[in-house]
Structures are given as structure tokens and as C-alpha cells.
Structure 1
């Protein structure tokens, strides 16, 4: 895998693969494929994949350095590439060497489009830090979460076996439910009584409900603009500041994680709201 931000530049013919605008690279890949009469398909992330070349493209959010020299988010995506030999090229992400590194079987498959719901069409949810997000209260069971979302059935579930490496699978533990209609993911920890309990909620950056704090919309907005608004509010009110691993700025003590979702060539904010006991 050639990293989008730190990997070497890689060229396929006259086409540069790394650190590119995704839509521009997609057009160039299709053009080169036509000239060489090879098939381009869409991989699990919605990006081009060409078995004849052993190339499967991907993206990462672009980061950069501020004028002061610290790491900061950009509002754009940039390309990476998985390069494999002929024995893996027929379906790279379904082969054991790649699955052990990145297992995408339980992830939602993207068909190559990233539509974003306009802000005025999103429901507005209230966030009470450390207690609840909209109708979802931390500590709920999966059945209670589904009931609070008007009975919606999860479109996808992710879980794990705690001791898979020992060869003894044991009990399967639910860790995440994805609700497509509501536009949220529910994250669980396993309570001592064995029932999963809600520990965090993610509002999907492209389709999820809007959630605001201190009058600042947190969902589906440009990451640099959101960083600027949060930092300004923190400075104006002399509050604590914390940075997420992806360099996003958040209020200290609120158990908030600000990640991003892809929206074509752009990135939009995707927050996760956590219970007090949830490790972030």
C-alpha cells in the first residue's frame, strides 16, 4: 500500500497515482485503460481498480502545515494506491494477505458516488454531552436504540470474537450497528451482564442528522472552517482545547471525536459523541 500522504510517488505509464485529486486521477485511469483495452472496475471504496495492472486506488484526507508550523486539516481528499501481484489482482481485498491488514468485508460498499444531504434537509438533534444525542441515550441496549430510531433495522453490523487468535472463537460481541435511514452508527461496549450498551454515536457526515454545539454545526461541514470556528469559540471563552489524531480541534472534556467522511474530492466533518466512560 502506498500512503497518500507519506508514500513515494508512483507512476503508471504517464499517470501519477499518488497524491492526486481523485476525480482527475479516475479520468486519467479510464483514458489509459481504453488505450490499453483493459477493464476498469469499482472497488469497495468506490475507486478505480484494474486487475490487469494489479492496481486498486483509494483516498485519504489531505493534511498540511499551518503558517505556525502545526499539522492542520484540509477540506480535500488525495489518492493512495494498493499495488499487488497477479495472484492477488483478481480481488485484492478478498485475499488473506490484504484482509489481515485491512478487512473491509463488514464495511458498507460504495458504488462510486458520495451524495451529501443539504443542511436544511437534515433533522436537528440535540446533544447533551456525556448523556445523549437526539433520541439515543448512552447505556441503551441495541433493541432500545433501534426502537428510538422508529424501529429501523441496522443495515450493517460489526462485531468481534475476543480471543480469535487462540483458535477458540467463543461468544461474538456486537460493537457497531449502522442505520442508513437515520444516518447514524451506534457503537457499543459489552456490559458485565453480557448485553451490549450504547457508548458512542456517529452522525454520518454525508447523510446524518445535524448536531450543533455553542451554535456551531458539527456535521457535514468543511473541516478547516469547523476547526477555525471551534478554536475561535474556545479562545473567546477561555476553554480547554484538544486535538484529535487527525488534527481536528475539539473542546476538552466533552468526549467528542471529529473525524471526516469523503464527499467525492472533498472531506466533510463526521463527529462521534461519546459517553464519559468511552475511551477516545
Structure 2
């Protein structure tokens, strides 16, 4: 089932028993018990890390189940599109407008005397319930069968047992599912820079974006950005699922002032080289394609403009990993980044041999 088929009528409805379990699942179950509770295997994939943690993905159900050492269930991530519709009290948590869910969560927490904090993504997190909210860009299929991004986000959720509730995203099982340690912490606001206040960067496909040329080393990238020090760095160890040791590979530098991320690959000489650049949708420089602004615009209008340009000039059409339409041959990927309840476009420009 594709993400566009996750209609409420086709989804299970689960109730959260805070810190105890959700639906038929109970924290502490082993992987066999979880499979049995879900009615048998559901097209799952399994990953095991060196320290003994386990993650099992059930894409057909919109679930990621995470286990501590000894395969004891400690966390369940529920997808916005296909996951069960989870309720805590009278609050429906999944597939809704984030601001509405946030207001209802605060009201319920106030009545129950539970503290609400803000998690890494700027969404509500309630340790007493083992709830950490999240969002995903919404989408649908067009009449022609194209995947189309909507101009909004909808809610997803991470549910954890008592051992992880104090700080879910700092725990090993969750980090193997979604490692956010190198990403900026959102305070719960998503301001978007006005178009007139954004610098304009030129773009030569497959060669450079603004002052950044593909193939640069990290020091060269920083120098091209005026000596800005990265606000965060993301990397990995080879074969991290076996052990976190050996050479650490730099994958991404985040430059908040410039409003871009630099993505690297590691050459045989061991030096990271620039392979892609993401211009932040909320705060990054503006980049044009055929006079179409690519940064910080509504994804639906951007998709329509690009499709019209492709049809007018009889060009090839590609799709980003997110499903957004892009012209072929320019090595451009379009994503949508959150701006409150809405989304704005966030492009990534990449070198010839870069794999998105």
C-alpha cells in the first residue's frame, strides 16, 4: 500500500496506554510476540546493531518497532500516512494538523497534570505519556498519476516505554532509527525569510551553486562562505551497525548563517569532497531555474511551474526521492520543509555522480 492509500477507513485504530503499550503491543514484548500481536509478518525488515539493539520495520503498517538489548520492545514509531490512528485520551495523534494536535495535547496535559516540553523538532513531548510528536510532508496522487506534494505537514508520533521517556531521541534504539544529534534543535517556531531579504545565488548545473563548487573540501567550503564555522556536523562510521569505531566519515556540514548544508562523499584519498548543496527552504539563498524561484515557495505552485516549463520546452521529467517533479539532466532534487503547519520548497543541487 502506497502512502497515498492510507485513508482512515483502511487504518486500524489504536489506543495508547501511556508507558505500557499501544493497541495490541506492550512494551517489553519480544520480537516474536510483537509479530504475533500484529497478526504475523507484515513485510518487515530487521536491523541489528552491535550493542544488541534491534529495529523492525513494517512499511505496510506504517510502523517501526525498536527493541533494547535482549529484544525487549521499548519504542514504536507510527507513520503519518499508513500507521494506525493512535488516540491518547480524546486526542487523535496521527495524520492531523500539527497546531490543532498541539493545542489539544496541552489541554489534556493541563487537566491531567502532565508536563509538556518541546522535542528536537519543535513538537510536543510528554514524558509522563511516553509521547514525542513529529510531522511529515503531506502528499497525494494527481489525476494523471503523479505523486504531488501538498503545502502542509501532518502529524506522526514516537511512542516509548518508561526507560526511554526521559529523552527518547538520546537513546540508542531511537538513534538507530533517526539520529538527530547533528541537527539543530527547533524551539517550536518556523520563521520564513522574506524573498526580498534572501541573497540570490546563481547555479551552473553539475558544476556549482553560488560560491560552492562541487569537489571542494570542507575547509574550502567554509572559506567560500566567508569562514563560517559549521553549526552542526553529521557523519558516520563505516559499518556502524557492527561497531562505532574506525574512521569517522563527514557527510554533512550545516551553515545556519548562509542557510545551506554541504553534503560530502569521501574520496579514495580520504578527503571529503562536496557532492551536493541544500538551500534551506525557510532561510536559505534564492536560486532560480528558468526564472522559477526554487527556494521557499509553496511546493504545489513550484511543481506546477516546473511541469509547465517541461511541457513547453519538451524536456524530460524526473522525480525527487520525495516525489517532486524536476527537469531531467540538471541534477536537482526538490523537497518540502516545514513552516509551521505549512511547507515550503527546499532544493538540493548535486554533482554528476552523486546518488540522492
SS in 2 for 1:10: strand
CA contact (8 A) 1:163 1:169 kept: no
TM-score by length of 2: 0.77
Deviations 1:63-82, CA, capped at 9 Å, x for gaps: 11223343211000000111
Higher relative contact order (CA 8 A, sep 6+): 1
Question: 4+ residue runs of structure 1 moved beyond 6 angstroms?
Answer: none
Q: 1:217, CA displacement in angstroms?
A: 0.4
CA contact (8 A) 2:139 2:149 kept: yes
- Write out aligned runs for 1:96-175 (5 A): 96-167=172-243, 169-175=245-251
The aligned length equals 280
Provide the residue aligned with 1:193 in structure 2.
Answer: 269
Q: 1:267, CA displacement in angstroms?
A: 0.7
Please give the alpha-carbon distance, in whole angstroms, between the structure 1 residues aligned to 2:210 and 2:322.
26
Q: 1:192, CA displacement in angstroms?
A: 1.9
SS in 2 for 1:79: strand
TM-score by length of 1: 0.97
Q: Which runs of 5+ in 2 are unaligned?
A: 1-76
Provide the residue aligned with 2:144 in structure 1.
Answer: 68
CA contact (8 A) 2:202 2:288 kept: yes
SS in 2 for 1:164: coil
Among 330, 334, 345, the residue aligned to 1:254: 330
Distance change (3 Å), C-alpha of 1:241 and 1:104:
same
CA contact (8 A) 2:264 2:273 kept: yes
CA contact (8 A) 2:321 2:333 kept: no
Provide the residue aligned with 2:131 in structure 1.
Answer: 55
Q: 1:168, CA displacement in angstroms?
A: 7.1
Q: 1:28, CA displacement in angstroms?
A: 0.7
Q: Which runs of 5+ in 1 are unaligned?
A: none
